[in-house]
Amino acid sequence: MTSEPPQGNIHFCKLSQADEPDEWEKVTERYFGSNQVRLTSAQAAHASFRRVGAGVMADMWLPPCEVKRARAQVSARRMPLWKVNCVLSGTAWVEQEHRAHSIGPGDMTICDMERESRLIVPTGARLASLTIPKAVPSLATLSASEARLVAGRRIEGKPGVLNALISLMSSVSAGLAEFDERSLVDVNKAITLLLCAAFRENLGGEPKKAETNEELLASVRMFIAHNIADPDLGPGFIAESFNISVRKLYRLFEGTEAGLGQEIRIQRIRGCAEDLRNPLLRHETVSTIGFRWGLRDASAFSRNFKSVFGMSPREYRNTFCK
């Protein structure tokens, strides 16, 4: 990795696949918080960063990679910031709040840095990125429910607002070293105001109604599927993630075929069954597979598995793993 020392508020760096990922993560942590970076190509990544007040602007070329901000990293350092990504070339996938969107040139997404997120670049992409404090007056009026509605979404709106926003983001990222401090601050304010206008357009001009129970239940089920291997997955964790009470969470599952606890158990058991059928995993013990899917109690795992499939995990493997 080559990383030029910060010159004032500017920092340029370059990473190739052969470099230590820890070094790249140290540099990006300084600006975007802790992330897990996994490069899947021999191409080099390039990035330049510049601080603007309490936020950061960046111009990044990313080869095929996955950048993940997991729950442990979110908890380790509180970052009350919005992160805006504008794709200048290539494509990327952005995932947050149980929503995943493909974005291409001219598309923008907003992520809440106080929540888990994931960015996947399949073939390489150039991004203009910007972090903005949530406390900025023009954005601080967003309620928690409104914040959930915009987080992880592709930013949409009237062409005039979006075109101006994208044009500014593109120009600033391309000339990070050329703007003087005062001009950069002024441009950043303009971007923030345009972003606020785009937020309101995405919210229909007024705060949207909360999700219906059916929509919330679907989101909870998707969340369970994405986090099913986490041994801490349970009512408290799920309710906290959706900012609802445990009581309301249980009420969502009333009248469904499976209650909350059974929903989690069945999804875990089905994941185990898939691994038990896989001949490439034949070398792994049954308890190792159960452990990986969040089933840490071997006797409970065997009992629950038998209640679903009518046989023990070992019998199931011997029958279906060919």
Helical H segments across the chain, by residue range:
21-32, 71-76, 137-140, 144-150, 159-174, 181-202, 213-226, 235-241, 246-252, 260-277, 286-292, 298-309, 313-320
Element (H, E) at 90: strand 81-90
* pLDDT tens per residue, range 79-126: 888 888 999 999 998 888 777 778 889 888 888 888 888 899 988 999
pLDDT of residue 206: 43
What does the alpha-carbon distance between residue 67 and residue 121 come to, in Å, rounded to a whole number? 9
Torsion of CA 93, 94, 100, 106, to 10 degrees: -70
pLDDT of residue 8: 46
Confidence of residue 127 (pLDDT cuts 50, 70, 90): very high
Percent share of the chain, pLDDT over 90: 15
Pick the most confident of 143-157, 219-233, 253-267: 253-267
Confidence of residue 139 (pLDDT cuts 50, 70, 90): low
What does the alpha-carbon distance between residue 130 and residue 178 come to, in Å, rounded to a whole number? 17
For residues 243 and 119, which has the higher predicted lDDT (pLDDT)?
A: 119
Pick the most confident of 135-149, 220-234, 294-308: 294-308
Lowest mean pLDDT among 61-70, 74-83, 101-110, 308-317: 74-83
Confidence of residue 5 (pLDDT cuts 50, 70, 90): very low
Measured from the Cβ of residue 221, the count of other Cβ atoms closer than 10 Å reads: 16
Mean predicted confidence (pLDDT) in 215-237: 79
pLDDT of residue 99: 73
Average pLDDT along the chain = 79
Confidence of residue 45 (pLDDT cuts 50, 70, 90): confident
Instruction: Answer whether residue 224 shows pLDDT above 70.
Output: yes
Confidence of residue 19 (pLDDT cuts 50, 70, 90): low
Confidence of residue 141 (pLDDT cuts 50, 70, 90): low
Residue 81 DSSP symbol: E
Instruction: Answer whether residue 179 shows pLDDT above 60.
Output: yes
Mean predicted confidence (pLDDT) in 318-322: 87
Measured from the Cβ of residue 322, the count of other Cβ atoms closer than 10 Å reads: 6
pLDDT of residue 13: 58
Confidence of residue 24 (pLDDT cuts 50, 70, 90): low
What does the alpha-carbon distance between residue 150 and residue 128 come to, in Å, rounded to a whole number? 19
